[in-house]
Structure formats: structure tokens, C-alpha cells
Amino acid sequence: MTRAILSLGGNLGDRYAHLRTAVHGLGEAVVLTSGVYETPPWGDAEQPPYLNAVVLVVDPAAAPRQWLDRARALESAAGRVRDPQRRFGPRTLDVDVIAVWQEDGTPVCQDDPELTLPHPRAHQRAFVLKPWLDLQPYAQLPGHGWVTDLLTTNALAADVAALSPRPDLPLESDP
């Protein structure tokens, strides 16, 4: 069994519908769903704002690699098209595997470029850390410590201040 934190984000098309469809697609694996935040684009400023959220998923049968396979399938279903010229460019849906833990709570740490764990840029991203903290106030990002401490570093202060909660866009009440 593994559990994982997945981040969901998108800034093209019906952003809210893409997040909802992704959560729905994860089915019974979803244990907790964060609120939705509207967030300024990170890494490539010339694009529309994103909607972001985080989910905690658990599956008795899922190896770490299967979370990536599910993430890619959800992105494809949302019609995601990769632009090789813009690494952090706009997209209908991005699903990143932020961290994975084995059944005994041991974090999975690996450098495989296909699936690097924990996600190598998660600690720099308020749009991942803030919704995650909402789900799990005592969350730790393996190798980086407490999520609450990461969010209060000077490096992330401006990004945290720029996040807008969107309680009008709930994910958890979907059928």
C-alpha cells in the first residue's frame, strides 16, 4: 500500500471542471481534498492565473509508479498538450506526484527522472504547500521538513500572500 500527496492545477479552459473531473477520476483513492486556491502563475509569468488544489490518496494496490500513471491519464483526459518551448507554460491540467509513503510511513525517495520523489520543486511552491497544509497541519515534505516552516520562509512570503482561497469552488462535495 502507498499513500501520496498529489497536486492539481490548471489555467486553461474550464479550470474548475478540470479539477473536479480529476478528483472524480481518482475515485475511492481520495481520502482528503483541499480547498481550491487561485494562484498567480509560477515560473512563467505570461499566462493566466491557475486554480490549484491538493489531494491525499491511498490505495492498497498502488506502487509509486502507478500514481504517476494515473496523473498522466488524468492530464490526457483533460486534453493537456505539452509545449516543449514553455516548460512551465499554460495547461488544462497538471497532476504532480508530490510525495509517496509506504504503508509503514517511510517516505519514498528516488532520483528517477521519470518519477522523482519527493517532487523536486514542491518545496518552492506555495501553490502546493498551502493547500497541503490545510489538509495536514503536521505535514512534512520528506527531505525538507515541516510544510508550515517552508511556508513561512522569506522566499515564499510573497507567493503565500498572493494565493486567494476560493471557497466558492468546493471539490469535496462532488458526487
Ligand X SMILES: Nc1ncnc2c1ncn2[C@@H]1O[C@H](COP(=O)(O)OP(=O)(O)OP(=O)(O)O)[C@@H](O)[C@H]1O
Ligand Y SMILES: Nc1nc2c(c(=O)[nH]1)N=C(CO)CN2
474550464: which residue's cell? 14
Q: Judged by CB under 6 A, does residue 34 bind ligand Y? A: no
Q: Judged by CB under 6 A, does residue 37 bind ligand Y? A: no
> 11 or 34, CB closer to ligand X?
11
> 101 or 127, CB closer to ligand Y?
127
Give the span between the Cα atoms of 115 and 166, in whole angstroms.
Answer: 30
| Terminal Cα-to-Cα distance of the chain (whole angstroms) | 25
Nearest to 119 by CA among 84, 85, 143, 88: 143
Q: Judged by CB under 6 A, does residue 94 bind ligand Y? A: yes
Give the span between the Cα atoms of 34 and 52, in whole angstroms.
Answer: 9
Work out how close the CB of 82 gets to ligand Y at its nearest, in angstroms, rounded to a whole number: 11
Work out how close the CB of 26 gets to ligand Y at its nearest, in angstroms, rounded to a whole number: 17
Q: Judged by CB under 6 A, does residue 42 bind ligand Y? A: yes
> 155 or 174, CB closer to ligand X?
155
> 59 or 94, CB closer to ligand Y?
94
Stretch that binds ligand Y, among 18-26, 42-50, 56-64, 131-139 (CB under 6 A): 42-50
Give the span between the Cα atoms of 28 and 32, in whole angstroms.
Answer: 11
Q: Judged by CB under 6 A, does residue 41 bind ligand Y? A: yes
Give the span between the Cα atoms of 105 and 2, in whole angstroms.
Answer: 9
Work out how close the CB of 72 gets to ligand Y at its nearest, in angstroms, rounded to a whole number: 14
31 in Cβ contact with 93 (< 8 Å) = no
* CB-count burial class (<10 Å; 0-12, 13-18, 19+) for 98: buried
User: Residue numbers of the site for ligand Y (CB under 6 A)?
Assistant: 9, 39-43, 50, 52, 88, 94, 127
